[in-house]
Amino acid sequence: MSLDDLKQAGVLLPEEEWGKHDLHTTVNRPVLLGLGAAAVASVVMMYLGDGKLVTWLGAGLFLLTLRFLQLAWKVGTGEIDTTIASHEAEDLVEEAAGRAEKEG
């Protein structure tokens, strides 16, 4: 899908409005702190697990937490502003295209 297709579908703001809006994020800091605590807990689980089940549960929790921390960092720094799955984005584009067809 090209930039022109997105413009025609009404997904993008007009170019004269680009860069004029205040962008902000709604990162939930307590959730971020909770994720950090989960990361620490997972490291403790891996250390105390002695190679058994608790070690592997800790490793899985650590990897999952690391992914959420990475996502939270990108949202917090403004690198991305939404977190949606690709199928949700497709639905949004189709919905905008349907509105554009009705209007046009």
pLDDT digits 0-9 by tens, 60-96: 999 998 888 888 788 778 788 777 766 777 788 888 8
User: How buried is residue 47: exposed, middle or buried, by Cβ count under 10 Å (0-12/13-18/19+)?
Assistant: exposed
Alpha carbons 73 and 55: distance in angstroms, whole number: 26
Binning pLDDT at 50, 70 and 90, where does residue 104 land? low
Tokens found for residue 30? 């307590």
The pTM of the full predicted model, rounded to 2 decimals, is 0.50
